[in-house]
Structure 1
Amino acid sequence: MQVLITISSSEPEIKWNAVRFGNFLLEQGEDVTIFLNGPGVALTAGESEQYPIGQQAKVFSLNEGTLVG
């Protein structure tokens, strides 16, 4: 199944959870695209030890997920 996740929030927790969800779906064999919109374009802004967004995004890309922004 093809899945599109849209991130349009600047909140680090929301961005982190959206990318984690994308990684989960990739592990299940789904075809996943994450579309970055508005404030979501700055995906790693607000990254912290609690919300390692960049790390999750790297895993997402390495697992052949598609990031569009």
Structure 2
Amino acid sequence: MKFGIIVNSNDPETVWNAFRFGLQPLANGDEVKVFLTGKGVEAEQLDTEQFPVTEMMKQLQELGGEIFCCGSCSEKIRGISPKLCPVGGMKDMYRIIVESDKVLTF
């Protein structure tokens, strides 16, 4: 099964749980692709002691999951250059949605 996860939040607990959930399908042999959009592009800056977001992001990638970040939301609007994932656009988010069996939003 293919899972698409759209993250539009900058709440550390919510974003941490989005990536934590993404680990489960990967552990079961499913595919996971994550698209960070809106406030979600701040994911790499959300680490707290209780919610190590970037650690979850790295674990997801190590298990074969893919993460994309909206270029307009990150670079043009917020001046953020993501380090852990490639910059994408609406066509990437569209592709993830169309190709996924299930789409979850956080």
Name the TM-score class by shorter chain: over 0.9
Spell out structure 1 runs of 4+ moving beyond 4 A. Answer: none
For residues 41 and 51 of structure 1, what CA distance do their matches in structure 2 show? Answer: 16
**Unmatched 5+ residue regions in structure 1?**
none
Indicate whether 1:47 and 2:47 are aligned. yes
Contact 1:32–1:65 (8 Å) recurs in 2: yes
Instruction: Indicate the structure (1 or 2) with the bigger Cα radius of gyration.
Output: 2
Instruction: Measure, in 2, the Cα distance between the counterparts of 1:10 and 1:39.
Output: 5
* Cα offset, 1:24, TM superposition: 1.1
Query: Which consecutive unaligned segments of at least 5 residues does structure 2 have?
Result: 70-106
Whether contact under 8 Å (1:7, 1:34) holds in the other structure is yes
Cα deviation digits, residues 9-64 of structure 1 (max 9, x gap): 01000000000000111101110001101110111222111001111111111111
How high is the TM-score relative to the length of structure 1?
Answer: 0.94
The CA RMSD measured in Å over matched residues stands at 0.8
